[in-house]
C-alpha cells in the first residue's frame, strides 16, 4: 500500500480526548474535556422537542438558515455594536471548529505562516498544517500570561506571514486580553497587513472585573478580522455543533465556498431551535455569568483550601494548576522516554490514584512548560464537590 498523506502524518491523538478515555477507564471525575454536565436552557430544549416532528429536516441553505443569521446579527450587534449583514457577512458552520478551519483555508496558501500565541487550543496547530501553512508561536509568559510586544512584532513581520490567531477569552489559560493588548495586536496586524482570525467561543464567560472586547471593534480591524465563535459554550450545547464566522463580504464570499465544500451546512433542525437562544434577553447572559462565577468561586475556594497553587481564570471555564510541589520533575529526571512528559505522568496518576482527570499543560504549550495541568469547572455543584473531595487525596502523589 502507498503511504498515507505526509501532511497529516505528524498528527497525534488529541491529548484531551485521550485523557477522557483514561478517566472513563478508571472512573475518574472528568475535568479534562471541557463540556458542561448540566442541561442547556429549558426554553431551548422545549423548542427542539417542538421541532422534532415538524422539521426542518432537509438541508438548509448552505451558509445557514435565514432566521438564524438574522437573530445572530441582532445578538452580535447588541453585544459588540458591530452590525454584520446576515446575507453577506456571515456563515453558520459546524461549530467554531469548522469555522476556524474554513477561515484558515480561505486565507492561507501552502508555505505561508500563521502566528499563534502559546499556550494555544490544540486544533489551531492542526488547522494550519491541514492548510499546508506553518505555525509560528509567540509565548505568553506562563506566570503572568503577558506577551512581549517585540517578540510578537518579530513574528508578525516575518516573510509569508498571513494571519494571527487570537483566542479570546483564551483556552487553556483563562486569559482575557485587555483592550490595550488588543490594540498592540491590532496595530501590528494593520502595519504588516495580516488577517486576524479570532476564536471567541468564551465571549460570554468572563469574570468581573474583566470585560470581553471584540478586536473587530478596534479602528481598522473590522475589515481584517475573521471572527469565529459558536453556540457550544454560551448555551451549553457542545453536541449541537453550531458555530459561525463573521467577516466582511470579500472575505466571506470565499469562506462560504470553502464551507460549502467542507460540510454543506450546519444541522437544519438545530439551527431552527437555536434561534430561540439567539433571541434570549440580557437576563440570560447575566444568569450565565452568575452561574459560571459561582462554579469558578466554588472550585477556586476548594483548591485554595487544599493549598494548591493555580492561576485564577479571568474568563472561560478552565484553571491551570501548578504541580511543581509534587516533585515529578525530580522523580522522573532522566527516566522519561522520547515524547513522554512529567505533566502527562502526573495526569495519569491523578486520574488513576486520586480519581480526577485533567489535561497535561504541555499539550498546549510550544515551549517546554510542563508544570501546569488544566482542569475545567463547567460542572454541577455535586460534581465539583466530588472532585474536590477526591482532590483531598492529592498529597499521595508527592
Instruction: By CB under 6 A, tell whether 234 contacts ligand PLP.
Output: no
Report CA 69 to chain centroid distance, whole Å.
Answer: 22
Residue 74: Cβ within 10 Å count: 13
Residue 316, exposed/middle/buried by CB under 10 A (0-12, 13-18, 19+)? buried
Q: Indicate whether 201 belongs to the interface with ligand PLP (CB under 6 A).
A: yes
Query: Alpha-carbon distance 298 to 284, whole Å?
Result: 21
**If you write DSSP's letter for every residue of 310-375 in order, what string do you get?**
EEPPSBSSEEEEE-GGG-HHHHTTTTPPTT--HHHHHHHHIIIIISEE-EEGGGT-SSS--SEEEE
Does position 36 interact with ligand PLP (CB under 6 A)? The reply is: no
Interface with ligand PLP, residue 232, by CB under 6 A:
yes
Determine if 118 is a binding residue for ligand PLP (CB under 6 A). no
Q: Select from 89-97, 128-136, 204-212, 387-395 the region that touches ligand PLP (CB under 6 A).
A: 89-97
Q: Decide: is 230 part of the binding site for ligand PLP (CB under 6 A).
A: yes
Stretch that binds ligand PLP, among 60-68, 158-166, 230-238, 332-340 (CB under 6 A): 230-238
Q: What residues contact residue 190 under an 8 Å CB cut-off, 6+ apart?
A: 220, 221, 224
Q: How many residues bind ligand PLP (CB under 6 A)?
A: 13
Q: Does 375 bind ligand PLP (CB under 6 A)?
A: no
User: In the set 18, 29, 34, 377, which binds ligand PLP (CB under 6 A)?
Assistant: 34
Q: How far is the CB of 320 from ligand PLP (least distance, A)?
A: 14
Q: Kindly state whether residue 362 participates in binding ligand PLP, applying the rule CB under 6 A.
A: no
For position 95 contacting ligand PLP by CB under 6 A, the verdict is yes
Q: Does 227 bind ligand PLP (CB under 6 A)?
A: no
Contacts of residue 305, Cβ cutoff 8 Å, sequence gap at least 6: none
Neighbours of 193 (CB within 10 A): 10
64 binds ligand PLP (CB under 6 A): no
In the three-class reduction of DSSP (H, G, I as helix; E, B as strand; rest coil), residue 94 is classed as coil
List interacting residues with ligand PLP (CB under 6 A): 34, 95-97, 121, 167, 171, 199, 201, 230, 232, 238, 243
Amino acid at each position: 500500500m502507498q503511504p498515507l498523506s505526509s501532511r497529516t502524518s505528524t498528527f497525534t491523538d488529541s491529548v484531551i480526548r485521550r485523557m477522557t478515555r483514561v478517566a472513563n477507564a478508571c472512573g475518574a471525575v472528568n475535568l479534562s474535556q471541557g463540556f458542561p454536565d448540566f442541561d442547556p436552557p429549558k426554553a431551548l430544549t422545549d423548542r427542539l422537542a417542538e421541532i422534532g416532528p415538524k422539521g426542518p429536516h432537509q438541508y438548509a441553505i448552505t451558509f445557514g438558515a435565514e432566521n438564524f443569521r438574522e437573530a445572530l446579527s441582532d445578538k452580535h450587534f447588541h453585544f459588540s455594536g458591530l452590525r454584520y449583514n446576515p446575507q453577506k457577512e456571515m456563515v453558520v458552520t459546524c461549530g467554531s471548529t469548522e469555522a476556524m478551519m474554513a477561515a484558515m483555508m480561505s486565507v492561507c496558501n501552502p508555505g505561508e505562516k500563521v502566528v499563534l500565541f502559546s499556550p494555544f487550543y490544540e486544533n489551531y496547530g492542526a488547522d494550519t498544517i491541514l492548510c499546508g501553512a506553518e505555525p509560528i508561536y509567540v509565548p505568553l509568559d506562563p506566570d503572568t500570561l503577558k506577551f512581549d510586544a517585540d517578540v510578537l512584532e518579530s513574528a508578525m513581520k516575518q516573510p509569508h506571514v498571513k494571519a494571527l490567531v487570537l483566542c479570546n477569552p483564551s483556552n487553556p489559560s483563562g486569559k482575557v486580553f485587555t483592550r490595550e493588548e488588543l490594540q498592540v495586536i491590532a496595530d501590528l496586524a494593520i502595519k504588516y497587513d495580516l488577517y486576524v482570525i479570532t476564536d471567541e467561543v468564551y465571549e460570554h464567560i468572563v469574570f468581573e472585573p474583566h470585560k470581553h472586547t471584540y478586536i473587530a471593534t478596534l479602528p481598522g480591524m473590522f475589515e481584517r478580522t475573521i471572527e469565529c465563535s459558536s453556540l457550544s459554550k454560551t448555551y451549553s450545547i457542545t453536541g449541537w455543533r453550531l458555530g459561525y464566522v463573521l467577516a466582511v463580504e470579500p472575505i466571506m464570499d470565499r469562506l462560504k465556498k470553502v464551507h460549502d465544500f467542507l460540510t454543506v451546512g450546519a444541522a437544519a433542525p438545530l439551527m431552527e431551535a437555536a434561534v430561540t437562544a439567539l433571541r434570549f434577553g440580557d437576563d440570560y447572559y447575566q444568569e450565565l455569568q452568575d452561574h459560571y462565577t459561582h462554579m469558578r468561586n466554588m472550585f477556586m475556594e476548594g483548591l485554595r483550601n487544599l493549598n494548591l497553587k493555580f492561576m485564577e481564570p479571568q474568563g472561560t471555564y478552565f484553571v491551570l494548576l501548578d504541580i511543581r510541589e509534587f516533585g515529578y520533575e525530580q522523580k522522573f529526571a532522566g527516566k522519561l522516554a522520547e515524547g513522554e512528559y512529567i505533566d502527562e505522568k502526573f495526569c495519569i496518576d491523578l486520574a488513576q490514584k486520586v480519581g480526577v482527570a485533567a489535561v497535561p499543560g504541555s499539550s498546549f504549550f510550544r515551549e517546554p512548560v510542563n508544570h501546569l495541568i488544566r482542569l475545567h469547572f463547567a460542572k454541577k455543584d455535586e460534581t465539583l464537590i466530588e472532585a474536590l473531595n477526591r482532590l483531598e487525596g492529592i498529597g499521595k502523589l508527592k
